[in-house]
Amino acid sequence: MANLGTRIYTRFRGRLVGRDADGRCYYEARTLNRTGGGEKRHERWVIYHKGEDASAVPPEWWGWLHHMEAAPLPESCLLYTSDAADEGLGV
């Protein structure tokens, strides 16, 4: 469950990439804003359900969150995709 600051940041800076089978929403920054491995890249984050911790992230999404994979899953396997930043937030 995201606090107010995370929800505002996500609404204005994030792009919804997809959801996992349990309904967690995964986001990516609209602009390159993090330096990692000597190159600029998109920041990535997940909105957890209340009371969850990082161990709840499935392996296929974990690799994407840590920039080990360019895409979380093939398009045919994603439960939800959208370019809208505010969908799924409930703000």
Q: Residues 27-68: pLDDT tens digits?
A: 999 998 877 777 888 899 999 988 888 888 998 899 999 888
Which helix (H) or strand (E) is 45 found in, with range?
A: strand 39-47
CA atoms within 13 A on the CB side of 35: 1
Encoded tokens for 68? 């080990």
Nearest to 33 by CA among 24, 22, 43, 18: 43
pLDDT of residue 89: 52
Q: Which of 68, 91, 75, 85 is nearest to 26 (CA)?
A: 85
Side-chain-side CA neighbours of residue 46 (13 Å): 23
- pLDDT grade, residue 75 (50/70/90)? low
Closest CA relative to residue 17, chosen from 90, 88, 91? 88
The pTM assigned to this predicted structure is: 0.74
Residue 83 pLDDT class (50, 70, 90 cuts): very low
